Structure 1
Amino acid sequence: MVGPSSSEDLISSLDLDNPLHLQNSDFRANTIIFVKLTGTENYRSAYANSAPQSNQWERCNFIMLSWLLNSVSEDIFLGQIFADNAVEVWAELKETYDKLDREDVLKHNQLMKLMQFLMGLSDVFQPNRSSLLSRETLPDVKDAFAIVSREESHRGIVSSSSFGSVSKP
Structure 2
Amino acid sequence: MAKIMSYGQMQSEWSRRKNKLGFVERLVKKPAVTEGEEESPEVVMWRQCNVMIKAWLRNVIEPRLHPSIIFSGTVVEIWKELKECYSTGNPPRVHQLKNELNERKQGKDQSIIEYYTRLKAIRDELINYSHVPQCTYGAATTLINEREEEKVHQFLMGLDTSLYGHIRTNLLIEDDITSLSRAYALVLREE
User: Which one has a bigger Cα radius of gyration?
Assistant: 1
* TM-score w.r.t. length of structure 2: 0.31
Q: Which has the higher contact order (CA 8 A, sep 6+)?
A: 2
* TM-score w.r.t. length of structure 1: 0.34
